[in-house]
Structures are given as C-alpha cells and as structure tokens.
C-alpha cells in the first residue's frame, strides 16, 4: 500500500548546540499532530537529538566559514501515522558508514567523552535508520517510525 503524504515541514538552522534542543522540540511538536503514544514522542526526541548533535559536533570540524555550517531537518507525516525525518548537513561526510554505525565507534578526541553510541541509540528508538554520506559533501540521516496513533488502534 502506498503511503499518502499528509504534512511536511523543513527547518534550516546553523549547526549550533543550542539548536539540538530546539530541533527536537520541533520534531516532537510535528509528531504530536497525530496524537501518538507519549513513548513515541520521547523516542523521536531522542533520535533527532542524536542525529542533530552529530551534525553539530562532527560534520563541520574542518569548516571555518560559519555561514556554511548549516543543518536541514525535513519532517514528513504519512497516512496511518508513518513518520520520516531527514537530517542533512553539507559537512565533511563519513568515510565508512558501516564502521561509524558500530556501537562504541567514535572519531571524537578522547577529551570530548563521546561514547560512540549515537547511531545505536537512533536505531533502538526508531524502526529504520538510513545513512547516506559522501566524503567532503555531507551526510543525510533518515529516521523512520510507525507511530502508535489512536487512528491505528481502531
Ligand atoms: N553528520 C556527521 N558528519 C560526519 N561524521 C559523522 C556524522 N555523524 C556521525 N559521524 C561519525 O560517526 C561516528 C559515530 O557517531 P555516533 O553518533 O554513533 O557516536 P559519537 O557521536 O562519536 O558519540 P556519541 O553520539 O555517543 O556522543 C562519529 O564519531 C563520527 O565520526
Ligand atoms: Mg553522536
């Protein structure tokens, strides 16, 4: 069955840590329109936070021009409460996606205390996580979740 697009929204913002909480609140508000379970909203917030944090802390490490450090989040809601969120940056990209997605893999300096668990967390809270990336061109993370809505319970 083909899903019908019901609503969509795109948000562009600078890769600043203050936008981690802002973007996860926007995603939660967007998901809330189909009245999902509270646990679904919590899951969306956690996954979006991890993906946006990655764009903020990793994507633009080598980018000196602050004007180019941009993150774009697209939210799409389909019939039946299927949610797709795409978080995109135009940063340095990921050389080996499979390796990056392994638990405890991190390229962050030890001083940063990153645990390399961001992708693992995203995968455990969402139904599907797809990563596309090209070196020097950027990364796009697609998060998908079937929300448990009142509509689905009929
Ligand atoms: N948007 C991105 N641009 C460039 N590299 C990325 C991006 N997202 C993730 N990575 C790479 O993938 C690795 C794994 O990401 P992951 O979120 O799993 O762990 P982490 O960010 O290193 O640590 P944690 O999320 O636990 O703080 C990162 O260390 C980084 O090398
Ligand atoms: Mg991370």
Q: End-to-end CA distance of the chain, in Å? A: 18
How far apart are the C-alpha atoms of 125 and 120, rounded to whole Å?
A: 9
CA-nearest residue for atom 11, ligand 1, is 100
pLDDT digits (tens, 9 = 90+) for 32-72: 999 999 999 999 999 999 999 999 999 999 899 999 999 99
Domains and CATH numbers, the chain: 5-153 (3.30.565.10)
Name the residue of 106, 121, 125 to mutate for ligand 1: max ligand atoms within 8 A of Cβ: 106
Q: Count other C-beta atoms under 10 Å from residue 23's C-beta.
A: 25
Reply yes or no on whether the pLDDT at 91 is more than 80: yes
Q: What is the pTM of this model?
A: 0.96
State the pLDDT at residue 71: 98
C-alpha 78 – ligand 1 centre gap (Å): 29
Which residues lie closer than 8 Å to 115 by C-beta, 6 or more apart?
Answer: 104, 106
Reply yes or no on whether the pLDDT at 76 is more than 90: yes
How far apart are the C-alpha atoms of 130 and 42, rounded to whole Å?
A: 20
Reply yes or no on whether the pLDDT at 153 is more than 90: no
Percentage of the chain lying above the pLDDT 90 cut: 88
Catalytic residue ranges: 50, 54, 114
């Amino acid at each position: 069955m083909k899903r019908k697009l019901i609503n969509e929204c795109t948000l562009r913002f600078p890769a600043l840590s203050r936008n981690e909480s802002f973007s996860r609140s926007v995603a939660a508000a967007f998901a809330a329109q189909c009245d999902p379970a509270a646990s679904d909203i919590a899951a969306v917030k956690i996954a979006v936070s991890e993906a946006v944090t990655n764009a903020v802390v990793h994507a633009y490490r080598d980018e000196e021009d602050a004007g180019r450090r941009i993150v774009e989040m697209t939210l799409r809601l389909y019939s039946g409460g299927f949610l797709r969120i795409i978080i995109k940056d135009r940063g340095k990209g990921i050389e080996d996606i499979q390796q990056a997605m392994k638990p405890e893999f991190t390229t962050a300096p030890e001083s940063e205390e990153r645990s390399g668990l961001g992708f693992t967390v995203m995968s455990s809270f969402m139904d599907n996580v797809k990563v596309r990336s090209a070196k020097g061109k950027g990364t796009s993370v697609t998060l998908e979740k079937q929300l448990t809505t009142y509509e689905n319970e009929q």
